[in-house]
Structure 1
Amino acid sequence: MTGLPGFAAWGLAGLLVCTALLILRRPVAQLIRLILRSSVGLAALALFSQVGQALGVTLGVNLVNALVLGLLGVPGFGLLLMLQWVLK
């Protein structure tokens, strides 16, 4: 019966992980949603970087701008453009 304490420890650890996932289900889902929206925002910034150079408007393709777009969406894009315009 030397395997029983090891099995009990793994079972308890698995139970704790399942409980933590059930408790943190909504925050983890929101974090995943933010990551997906920010990645789409990063792709939009990269696309706008190519088009914006022809228009004379540039935005940096970085994590902070992507997070602003992930959190605020299209109004965040307008905010970044206005901020760029004010700072120039």
Structure 2
Amino acid sequence: MEVQYLIYGLVGIIVLFFVLKLLKWPIKIIINGVIGVVILYIANFIIANLSLVGINTSFSLAINPITALIAGFFGVPGVIVLIIIGLFL
């Protein structure tokens, strides 16, 4: 009986390993998206407060899944590219 429980335990550990390996990519995308939203929020806050310094701006970045993932994957350079694209479009 004890060998049977050992086999069940090993099979369970192997299955858990493969399930966690499969879920690694979607979880990473979700975490990067959340980080992107935070970066975009901070960028919008900084852009909105430029008018307090005397720079008049009526520009803001849209916070949606696409821009959040771009900001999450590429970080600050991605946000800078989003700002440049937003200024020219």
Please list every run of 5 or more consecutive structure 1 residues that lacks an aligned counterpart in the other structure.
1-10
CA distance in 2 between counterparts of 1:65 and 1:83 reads 11
For residues 2-41 of structure 1, what are the structure 2 equivalents within 5 Å? 19=15, 21-41=16-36
CA distance in 1 between counterparts of 2:20 and 2:78 reads 27
Match of 1:84 in 2: 86
Match of 2:3 in 1: none
The alpha-carbon deviation at position 27 of structure 1 amounts to 4.2
Aligned: 1:47 with 2:42: yes
**Which range moves more in the overlay, 54-63 or 77-86?**
54-63
**Which range moves more in the overlay, 48-57 or 68-77?**
48-57
> Percent identity at matched positions?
24
Name the aligned partner's letter for residue 67 of structure 1: L
- Answer yes or no: is the 8 Å Cα contact 2:36–2:73 preserved in 1: no
The alpha-carbon deviation at position 39 of structure 1 amounts to 0.5
TM-score (norm 2): 0.61
Aligned partner of residue 59 in structure 1, secondary structure: coil
Match of 2:73 in 1: 71
The alpha-carbon deviation at position 24 of structure 1 amounts to 4.9
CA distance in 1 between counterparts of 2:32 and 2:20 reads 18
Q: Which runs of 4+ in 1 moved over 4 A?
A: none
CA distance in 1 between counterparts of 2:46 and 2:80 reads 16
Aligned partner of residue 49 in structure 2, secondary structure: helix
Larger relative contact order (Cα-Cα within 8 Å, sequence gap ≥ 6): 2
